[in-house]
Amino acid sequence: MRFSFFYRYILRKHDMTRKYFGTDGIRGKVGTPPITPDFLLKLGWAAGQVFAREGHNFVLVGKDTRISGYMFESALEAGLTAAGVDTRLLGPMPTPAVAYLTRTLHAKAGIVISASHNPYYDNGIKFFSAQGTKLPDDMEQKIEKYLDLPITTVDSSKLGKAKRVVDAAGRYIEFCKASVPTGMTFDGMKIVVDCANGATYHIAPDVFKELGAEVIAIGVEPDGLNINEGYGATNPENLVKTVLEHRADFGIALDGDGDRVIMADHKGELVDGDELIYIIAKARLKSGLLTGPVVGTLMSNLGMEHALQALSVPLLRANVGDRYVIEMLAEHKGMLGGENSGHIICLDKTTTGDGIIAALQVIAEMQNTGLSLHDLKSGMQKYPQVLINVRTPTKVNLKTHDGIQSAVRAVEQMLGKNGRVLLRASGTEPLIRVMIEGCNQSQVESYAKQLADDVQQAIAT
């Protein structure tokens, strides 16, 4: 199944200036503008004004499990209704599920209320087009224009209506199961599934159970406040502990909205996004299904690049962010890409990053080869890579800051050709991410700490 329509996706023009939209929708702390009920009401109305011109169907709205989702769901629904747009409410639903359902239910757009891997006190809004892809630039620009206008309400006879979609979870579970070969079962496998107390809590365990696996589910008791806390792809300690305690074959950790995945093998060793991409790429290549280059990011490990080179598979690097990976895949007609954080995009299966789908592709290769996850990842040797986040009180232009550039050059000179340095500003938090990669672990750790200290000092002066 190939999503050929995807290559008509409108490529993002990175020089566009937006007041609210970032690289992955709108995100921030709950109660702090723009993540407030009044803004979400206005955003729903503004989006409704744009979507109303795209046809006569409805807009899907899904959310993760954070407590503020109830408040923002109601605000968005009210805004869409005032604009005369019908709403279909999905309740807690993974981000990739909303993308899938938007496409297959023929909605005019999909909206996700989620801050992904962030803590419960953050929240955000993501949009999907009718094709299940990220919303094109021109649509975001149109929405922002309406945000500057006063809210108006259509005539009462034309107000939108809201309904619940009662079979959304079941539809998505069947879609996930269909991403592995017909007739394949996971009988005899013992799997730990960590749902981060997030949107996959009522979906991911059932996917793997219905395929025949014995599932030990953790992080499946959301209370509105515990999303991503101590569990999930960003906190895999409990995954590793549970895999070892139960002598499981492997473990799967998803994040709060289900669009990223990290795995752990039977020895308790973590398998990150780069290693999972390598496993999937090798499997697709062996079956003759791999097309185009693999697309990683500036953060992708040099070990993945070298391992793919050994397979004669080129790796292209996009800016950090799954949106940029998807754009580069579209531009170069690739089908597989992602980030070391666990965002993995399999365009032969779906239109966006999907943690469950990615995990299923890896497990299918385990079944096809009879090899363990530990064995499958052994073909790629990761370079030691250390990432340190430096919090910034204000936005910093890394390229023009002389003190920071001087510190970078000093470390690059010490590393020589045996490593690389990457500094980038986070797109979702007030952070500068300092990354050092090289051959020697202790050397990399030392250089990373030194550079992070130098960056912190340069910002303060």
**Rounded Cα gap, residues 212 and 320, in angstroms:** 36
**CA dihedral of residues 230, 434, 344, 267 (deg, nearest 10):** -50
CB atoms closer than 10 angstroms to residue 44: 30
Half-sphere exposure for 283 (CA within 13 Å, toward CB): 26
Q: CA-based angle 268:269:271, to the nearest 5?
A: 125
Q: Decide if 37 contacts 165 (C-beta within 8 A).
A: no
The label of the residue with tokens 């990399």 reads 444
Active site positions, annotated: 116
Sequence-separated (6 or more) residues with CB below 8 Å from residue 326 = 9, 133, 134, 337, 345, 352
Cα(80)–Cα(82) distance, integer angstroms: 5
Helices (H) and strands (E) in the chain, counts: 14, 18
216 sits in which H/E element? strand 214-218
